[in-house]
Structure 1
Amino acid sequence: MALIFLYIHVLCLWLCSSTYNAQNVFFQPSFLVTRGPSVTALLYGNSSNIILILQTTSPSNVTGSFDPPSCVPEETRWVLTSELIAKTTVQVKLRLNRSLRLCGNNETDTDCCVNPLCVRETLQVSACEGNNSQASLIVQVKVYARLVSGNMVFDNKTIIQNQVYRPLGECPCDLTFKTCDLWCCCDEDCSTEDFQLFKYHCLPGPFGGQFPDPEYQCSVQSSQNSPDWFPFLCVISPPGNNPYLGLFYQGNKIAPKPGMSFGASVSSPPTLLDAYIEGSPILTLKDQYFTIPRTLNGYCVTSAPVAFLKNFDVKCVTPLQACPTEPPLQTIPEDLRAVVKNGVGGNAVVDVTDQLATELNDFITSSESFGSSAVVCENVPLALDYNFYWKENGISGITLTRTLGTVTLNGNVSLTTRYSAKFLSGDITSKPNSGNPGYQVGRPVIGGILNTSIGNDSLLIERSPMHLWKPVNCGLCSHADVRPVLFGENSTSGCLLPVSQLNLTQCGLLRDTVNSLQDGLVEASLVAINGHPNAVTMADWLNISYVTLNSSGVGDSNSSCSNIPAHLQIYVWTLVTGFVDEIPQKDIKAVEISYSLSSWKLECGGGDPVCIDPAETQRLPVTSSVTFIDIPLNTGPPKNRYQINFTEYDCNRNDICWPELAFPFTRFYTGEPYSQALAKGIILVFFFIVASVLGTPWRQIRQIWSTI
């Protein structure tokens, strides 16, 4: 048996090889029948010198065979394309180059179909080498026109009205308004020609417009297969009265009547169709998504939609080979000033502000490449920080802070750009708060300055935050940034100030320089008591206490300077002033700012050039710190001598607490107001006395008394 299969396999290989040698190329398949506007076939063999020719053909009336293939091209309504998909395989495609929609009434366009049977022809594709045809493909085409006219919108679904006022489901498969639905026999929009296309392929059952009679109808059962009980229990009913009564019953219609009203009609406000909800995308005036570059699934996307009330802060790393010329790495303010819908019927324009970055170590990662020339790219966007100000379901304003920098391309450079979006509650002119009412831990301490430029009868306090040092990279004070003082977080930070021997000879100037650096951290003279202060109420603010700085030059010499205000100390006293939902609310009770004075002297040793060259500098620290001090909460009046000496009645020191014996009647019970607790207790005692009087002991006493 195995020998027979082996023989057959060898014979097939021999036949295929002989066929391939006899014919260099061949189509697979060589004959096709299609009912669509596109056809695909494969051409096998050596097709390097093969040219594909398309022409129409027709079978002979006598023999029935088609005309012999010809290598003369002919103009048809079809587009012939070919694609090499393997070494000896070519994919051949035919595509109809015309519309398949039915022509409308009195339409003069020649690109539509006059009859439902739009295309009916036979095509022949010849593989020619020179003027000789090596292989041919026969394609019989029979394509019907589409039933939907070209000016119809495909998503115009039939609107199903209230079933009380209009029968529901007159034709269940009629899904498209004023358009013939394919295979729907009850669609009144279909013409007679349309029904001829699918009259034998209608949707079966009631949903295709065919309503079968129920089996309990007397007209359904025949005398041969009907049960014995059928003549007595069958139902005589009109065909329309069937189990699909709720869907297809053509009953009477009830006209809606307006209800009675005894008051003046109040017009409801118009519905805002563009109102934003959490998570909905922000739209521009052209109903397009407002996009910002961000990362999705670990990849950087240059245009990602921004969702309402969804904050994000991402970083994208991009290798730079040359200066960027396209967004988002190269933009102009005009391109960033987009106009978006604010959600309340108006518009909001992005307000762009530029700032220059002096330190680029957080944005640039480069490796030196010797021999390559450096290229300087100016005004490269390093960060785009958006602030969206919102109120209710709308956007009141949008601000954008664009950070620019100069990037030097020298070797392999990787640019890390930052993109962020933050939604802030309130108007664009309002300032963010740090709690309501008490401060929240981690939110900035709010400072203020009294505005004296307005009239005497008006009061306005402008906010001025309190800062600490935020060193970056080299740590020099000239490059250092500042960060706000965060409530409840003790912190110490600083920077380095280059000092030379020449500076130590001018101690007064050095003290003034350090003092101006430290004074720049806190410019406020007031501090907000709570996290939600009122800018026109002085009761919400406290004066900041400054310790007088003694800047005398006692102890100065040519090599050292004393009384340098090198350390700024901020002390903040806080107190719990109440509870909201069992969460303690902390307020600020006092703020004191003082300086720790230091003596600066350069350290020389080991041939340090700072002691040889007066211009050489040595870095000395300038620091700042904040300390929060909690004031203990006073839980009650001080204990008297009796409570201190006699601890027998102290509930905190004994397992038995006699004062709580009558717990509901005492002040220790706080489950409800004291008056209600006392009234309920008296009622309980009254019921106890009544039960005792009417109980068994008193009944026996009354019986004995009556017998005497």
Structure 2
Amino acid sequence: MAHDFLVFFFIFRRLTCVLLLFSLANAQNVVVFQPSSLTATGPSVSALLLGNTLDMSLTVRTVSPSNTTGNISPPSCVSNVTQWVVTKEQVGKAAVRVQLRLDKSLRLCGENDTDCCTNPLCVLETLQVSACVNGTPQASLLIQAKIYALLVPAVAGSDNNTAIPNQAFQPLGSCPCDLTSRACDVRCCCDKDCSTEELKLFVSHCLLGPFGGQVSPSPEYQCSVQLTENSPDWFPFLCVNSPPENNPHLGLFYRGGVIKSKPGPRFQSPALSAPVPVNVYIEGSPILTVTDEYLTIPQKVLGQCVNRAPVAFLKNFKVECVTLLNTCPTASPLQTQPPDLNIQVNNGQGGDVNVEVTEEVVTDLSQFITRANVLPAADESLVCENVTLAIDYQIYWKGNGITSINLTHFIGTIILNGSVSLTTRYSAVFLNGEFMGEPNSGNPGYQVGRPVIGGIANTSGNNPGSIQRTPINLWKSGSDGLCVTNENRPVLFGENATSGCLLPVSGEYLAQCDLLRQAVRSLQEALTTAIYVANSGNPDPLTVADWVKISFVTLNSSTATGNTRSSCYGIPYHQHIHVWSLITGMVDGVPQRNIHAVQVSYSSTTWTLDCGGGAVSPCVDSLETQLFPITSSVTFTDIPVNAGPPKTRFQINFTEYDCNRNDVCWPELAFPVTRYYTGEPYSQSLAQGLVLVFFFIVASILGTPWRQIRQAWNSL
């Protein structure tokens, strides 16, 4: 991963080059393209034309290298017919943005189609754009166009998602990445809607693991595989009859329960599950009302508030929408009556639930209203009653259905004397019992790339002794790289990362080192507010054994004695998170990784104003700022599994009973009554095994061989 400082340096250097070219072109009254050559992989491409652009015309033509020299022909003001349209836009006194747009459809041709692409590589050509004055070329731009056709399905896809069966029985479906009905999903190689030509484009980048349809097969000791060709005669009596619903991936998206085995003979095939209703909810599917309409609430889409956005199952959100009011609102959502909110919702199990609405009147509107414009005449004020200030949904769920919905509607009276800026808040929280429905990071071990789950002690609510989840974050680089505008990103399991931001500091701050250290320390500590970390990917908030306490290493504050006017010692500029993980078991041959310990430490440095190279203004002006880096990183270390005592020479050479190096494994003959079998308690498996042995002995004693022996004995 590239460091944010290098990215900032390259962006700064590129911007400096553009400014230098602009100044040079303006000073010498010449015209240049910036950049002078580029590659087009899409239907549009743009560049800047710098310099004296007065009375400048643009021509575009298709060129090709010479067969003898291999060079491109010199610029020319004579254009030819191309499939590109060139436009220009003045963006400054001496700068013009030149844009080329492909005047051709990128759709792959079908039967009897025209104006389309006959091959997947739709456009492969070299273009030359010339800037001319009075028929004389002044500058040229070389464009290498290499554009592939767009993959548009023959049957247009709809907004309907592919219906996946009940997660409690088939949590991932036969092809989990098949998200769009009747359309090919990119990188989903098990999607039946993808044609052979489409698969060739991403066949080497297929989604791996269960999400790509590669679900682990059933273990060979399961009774469900007894119909295989090479099953031995004794297989029905020694196989393991565990319900297929106990899939190792069960609960990956929600906290489910383990299904117990039904009593019955071990040689019977497991009964098939009951048919799943077609209207069950899955994670991310929209919630429907009894009239088959979406349950909608204002949400943000692409940064903008949308008044009617569907609520997705198991997707929590909390948004704020700002509206400028000049008159009293008369329509939804700012003016909503209780009957409009008290509706019936499809519960996903063939029934329905009512939305229980509770109205609360807010008298203090300081958190919702900001005055934008005040009129001097007081008699022109308007009184707006029952204006919606906030809507909070609490949706309780279990399995694939909804059990109840509570809605709190906050309203207030707004007096308009001019215009006001109203900030309304909308939220939806899914609760499984008393706990918020939050996604897990594995089952049971962590999955690589999933967020590390942190926690803090819950001191409020109905479960004060539980652990409340909270993220463990790193810095996330923004557009300008400053810490004020930067966001945070979660620590992902198994992925080492380093990131940071820039903090502007002036000489006035460096004169107050204690306050500067405290400010930087507060910024770093805000990244990791958790004091616990979950040792597995699906922790229980009520089980203390599922959580590990984070170790914090504090800095020695004795380095403050060497401070000067323009420098400060002991600045905690770097936060390092060290995570130790280990393999605790196997599920269908997949190792399960848990977190053993987490340590958070800090590194200090000295911040000094750099006034060299003629830049003396920061040292002269106490308000002039310089940028100093603040970084964070995470490192994952695997703890090796204890291999136990070394093997003796007899164990190494004598392989008759070694199941790993011998086709015949005698210790597995009685697998269900050994310690290796974990499907049932050991005492129960041992008792059932002894009962089975007893029946074999009784059958042998009372059978034909013993009767013949008694007859022969009596005849003597």
TM-score by length of 2: 0.39
TM-score by length of 1: 0.39
